[in-house]
Amino acid sequence: MQAKIIDGKAISAQLKAEAAEDVKQMKENGITPRLAVVLVGDNSASKVYVRNKQRACEEVGIASKTVLMGEETTEAELLQLIDELNQDQSVHGILVQLPLPKQIDEAKIILAIDPKKDVDCFHPLNVGSLFTGGEGFLPCTPAGIIEMIRRSGYEIAGKRCVIIGRSNIVGKPVAMLLMKENGTVTICHSKTKDLPGVCREADILVCATGKRNTVTADMIKEGAVVIDVGMNRDEAGKLCGDVDYAAVSQVAGAITPVPGGVGPMTIAMLMKNCVTAARQQTQA
Calculate the CA dihedral of residues 177, 185, 244, 258 and round it to 10 degrees: 0
C-beta of 33 vs 241, nearer to ligand NDP: 241
Q: Cβ of residue 133: shortest distance to ligand NDP, in angstroms? A: 22
Active site residue 53: yes
Do 31 and 283 contact (CB within 8 A), yes or no? no
**Cβ contacts of residue 30 below 8 Å, gap of 6+?**
none
Helix (H) or strand (E) holding 65: strand 63-69
Residue from 153, 157, 191, 235 that binds ligand NDP (CB under 6 A)?
Answer: 191
For residue 51, count other CB atoms closer than 10 A to its CB. 13
Q: Does residue 12 touch ligand NDP according to CB under 6 A?
A: no
In the bound state with ligand NDP, the residue whose beta carbon lies nearer, of 26 and 224, is 224
Q: Between residues 117 and 172, which has the closer beta carbon with respect to ligand NDP?
A: 172
- Judged by CB under 6 A, the chain residues 192 through 231 that form the site for ligand NDP are 192, 195, 208-211, 214, 229-231
Is 86 or 192 the residue whose CB approaches ligand NDP more closely? 192
Beta-carbon contacts of residue 132 (< 8 Å; ≥ 6 apart): none
273 is a contact residue toward ligand NDP (CB under 6 A): no
Helix axes 171-180, 124-131, angle to 10 degrees: 40
Residues in a beta bridge with 161: 185, 204
Catalytic annotation, pick one of 16, 22, 97, 203: 97
Closest distance between ligand NDP and the C-beta of residue 189, in Å? 4
Q: With CB under 6 A as the contact rule, which of the stretches 80-88, 110-118, 121-129, 159-167 interacts with ligand NDP?
A: 159-167
Query: Of residues 141, 249, 256, 273, which one binds ligand NDP by CB under 6 A?
Result: 141
Q: Name the H helices within the chain.
A: 8-28, 44-60, 75-87, 106-112, 124-131, 140-151, 171-180, 195-199, 245-248, 262-282
- Within positions 48 to 77, which residues make up the interface with ligand NDP, using CB under 6 A? none
Burial 218-234 (b: 16+ CB within 10 A, else e): ebbbeebbbbbbbbbee
Catalytic residue flag (residue 87): no
Residue of 22, 118, 120, 242 marked active site:
120
DSSP state of 221: -
Q: At its nearest, how many Å lie between ligand NDP and the CB of residue 121?
A: 12
Residue 228 CB, nearest approach to ligand NDP (Å): 9
CA distances from 210 to 117, 124, 190, 233 (A): 28, 24, 12, 10
- Residues identified as active-site: 53, 97, 120
- Site for ligand NDP, rule CB under 6 A: 141, 164-167, 169-171, 188-192, 195, 208-211, 214, 229-232, 262-263, 266
